[in-house]
Amino acid sequence: MAKHQIRCINKSDRDNPHERIQAVGGMNSDGGLWKLTQQEAVDSIISGKYSFYVQVNGKPVDVIVATSRFGNKYIKTEADGEQPNNLLSLMECK
């Protein structure tokens, strides 16, 4: 399973730290950019095709799939004591 660093996100409301993530993106080892919808990222983690992480203070923090109280699957970082979620703090993907 390939592990990819998520470096940016797209949210439906950029100024709201709790708004839903629409897409995530990063850079391939060859310098090319990649971007997946949140659903594609969820499906990739569940299927074992890819795993993802973010860098926080020089340390990798894994991205996992969680389920909302309404039964919707979404991605977030593992609990690391940071609020808001490290994923939501990333810059906007272009």
Residues 66-83 have pLDDT tens digits of 998 889 899 999 875 555
- 84-87's contacts with Cβ under 8 Å and 24+ in sequence apart are 84/17, 84/18, 86/54, 86/56, 86/61, 87/6, 87/9, 87/21, 87/24, 87/54, 87/63
Question: What is the structure's pLDDT at 84?
Answer: 54
Structure tokens at 51: 């795993």
| Chain segment 5-45, per-residue pLDDT in tens | 999 999 887 555 556 899 999 999 899 999 999 999 999 99
Cα separation of 92 and 11, whole Å? Answer: 8
The residue extents of the domains of the chain are: 2-92
For residue 85 the two structure tokens come to: 């979620």
Q: How many CA atoms lie within 13 A of 92 on its CB side?
A: 8
Query: Stretch 53-78: mean pLDDT, rounded?
Result: 90
User: What pTM value is reported for the model?
Assistant: 0.85
Provide the token pair at 30.
Answer: 């060859």
